[in-house]
Amino acid sequence: MAISLADLRTVRADKPPRVLIYGNEGVGKTTLASEFPNPVFLQTEEGTPGELALQSFGALDSFGAVMEAMEALYNDPHEFQTMVLDSVTALQRLVFDETCRRGDEHGSAKARIEDFGYGKGYVNAKNVLREFLEGCNLLRRDRGMAIVMIAHSVVTKFDDPETASYDRYEIDLHKHLNGEITRDLDAILLLKKPVNVKGETKQGAVSKNDKTTARTRAEGSASTVLIHGVGKPAFVAKNRYGLPESMRFDRGAGYDALAQYLPRIGNSAPAKAAA
């Protein structure tokens, strides 16, 4: 049937959000994810914060186990409203293991992803990863679940074609899989403690002219954590909901701060209109 102007309709970003939270160890990624409405955790690595009690399938040590857990969430009756993957960085290893187990076009298994040669292993790994991502899409579309992925951060050198190279925080994922995971996300949030850099001078015979030398000292709050939702040269972040550049993350109230911008999740309170 031909498409006509009569087929036009108004669309809104009203489906449950797909969010990735990343940052350094211990900054509160799992805690923030646990504050989303009625979460269930798919844990691909050890390390539950001591103060939390999570609904979890336990340690999932294979890609097949992850997919079985997602299948149960899709088919079985439950009241969970958010699926949390902790972490997508560890899932990457399971994807590579599954890719090697399936082997090449002849069914020959490989010991390492590099053993496929000519980058074919990473191409095959993308196909395996897409099975997981499609599972996420089905849970979101058919079961109305929000999707939250947790990832570790890594500092890398970014070669900017318009200026000198500089270091920045990025998601700890292999470059061949990073785009597949992040492309359709509605928000990428960096959790990070603010750092203030102060300059100091001290007198010393550092040259034949006996001039002063300067040094810098980094200072920051041990308890303050910021949620960054807009990217800068120093880090990767984005969102489709009009989140501010940064907001304070107070444990126990992190999701409440985000919820005023996000679409409604299940039976959670309706989101307020973004300013």
The pLDDT tens digits of the residues spanning 141-184 come to 999 999 999 999 999 988 877 788 888 999 999 999 999 999 99
pLDDT value of position 269: 47
pTM of the predicted model as reported, rounded to 2 decimal places: 0.85
* CATH architecture of the domain with residue range 14-194+223-258: 3-Layer(aba) Sandwich (3.40)
Q: What is the 3-state secondary structure (H, E, C) of 188-223?
A: EEEEECCCEEEEEEECCCCCCCCCCEEEEEEECCCC
Q: Where are the domains of the chain?
A: 14-194+223-258
- Does pLDDT of 237 surpass 70? yes
Write down the pLDDT at residue 186.
97
The terminus-to-terminus CA distance of the chain in angstroms comes to: 41
How many helical (H) and strand (E) elements, i.e. helices and strands, does the chain have? 6, 12
33 residue type, one letter: A
- How deeply is 244 buried, as exposed, middle or buried, from its count of CB atoms within 10 A (0-12, 13-18, 19+)? middle
Q: Which of 82, 94, 104, 103 is nearest to 30 (CA)?
A: 82
pLDDT for 68-101, tens place per residue?
Answer: 999 999 999 999 999 999 999 999 999 999 999 9
